[in-house]
Amino acid sequence: MTGIIKGISRRQALAGAGAAAATGLVTSPSIILAQTPETLRFGHLTPRTGFLGPLGEYGVMAVDLAVEEINAAGGVNGRKLEALKEDSVNPQTASTKAERMIERDKVACIIGEISSASALTIAQVAGRTKTLFVNTGANSDALRGESCNRYMFHVEHQNSMYVKSCGRSLLAQGLVKGKKWFSLTADYAFGHDLLKVAKRFMEANGGQFAADKLVPTDATDFSALLLEIRAAKPDLVVSNLAGNQITNFLKQYSEFGLTFPVAGFGFDTALAWAAGKDNFGGTWPCVWHHLIDTPSTKAFVAAFTKKYGKPPENQAWGDYMAVKIMAQSMNELKSTETPKILEHWEKGAKFDVMKPRQGYFRASDHQLISEMYTITALPPAQVKNQWDLFTSSAPVPGPDENMEVIATSGDEAVCKMS
| Predicted pLDDT of residue 36 | 64
Residue numbers in the chain where pLDDT is lower than 70? 1-36
Question: Measuring CA to CA, how many Å separate 200 from each of 17, 66, 182, 226, 369?
Answer: 53, 38, 15, 25, 21
Percent of the residues in the chain that have a pLDDT greater than 90, as a whole number: 89
Which of 197, 190, 188, 262 is closest to 218 using CA atoms?
188
* Among candidate residues 264, 243, 275, the one with its CA nearest the CA of residue 383: 275
Residue type, 76: V
Q: Strand pairing partners for 251?
A: none
Angstrom distance (rounded) from CA 147 to CA 320: 25
Burial label for 204, CB within 10 Å (0-12, 13-18, 19+), is exposed
pLDDT score at 253: 97
- State the fold for domain 10-158+293-369: Rossmann fold (3.40.50)
- Strand 390-392 relative to strand 373-377, pairing: antiparallel
Please enumerate in sequence order all residues whose Cβ is within 8 A of that of 15, keeping only pairs 6 or more positions apart, or say none. Answer: none
- Contact by Cβ (8 Å): 51, 242: yes
Q: Which residues of 39-72 are buried (b: 16+ CB within 10 A; e: fewer)?
A: bbbbbbbbbbebbbbbbbbbbbbbbbbbbebbee
What number does CATH give the domain 160-288+372-412? 3.40.50.2300
Report the DSSP pairing between strands 180-186 and 152-154: unpaired
Q: What pTM, to 2 d.p., does this model score?
A: 0.90
CA-CA distance, 356 to 345, in Å (whole number)?
20
110 vs 103: CA distance, rounded Å? 12
Q: For residue range 279-313, what is the model confidence (pLDDT) as tens digits?
A: 999 999 999 999 999 999 999 999 999 999 999 99
Measured at the alpha carbon of residue 198, what is the angle toward residues 161 and 201, in degrees to the nearest 5? Answer: 80
Q: How far is CA 348 from CA 3, 343, 368, in A?
A: 39, 9, 10
pLDDT, position 172: 95
The neighbour count for residue 196, using CB atoms within 10 Å, is 17
Contact 324, 408 (CB under 8 A): no
Which residues have a Cβ under 8 Å from the Cβ of 210 and sit 6 or more positions away? Answer: 180, 181, 182, 232, 234
pLDDT recorded at residue 309: 98
Numbered ranges of CATH 3.40.50.2300 in the chain = 10-158+293-369, 160-288+372-412
**pLDDT the model gives residue 1:** 35
pLDDT tens for each residue of 33-54:
445 678 999 999 999 999 999 9
Give the whole-angstrom CA distance, residue 147 versus residue 277.
39
Contact 417, 148 (CB under 8 A): yes
- Residues 408, 158 contacting (CB under 8 angstroms): yes
pLDDT digits (tens, 9 = 90+) for 314-343: 999 999 999 999 999 999 999 999 999 999
Residue 16: what pLDDT? Answer: 40
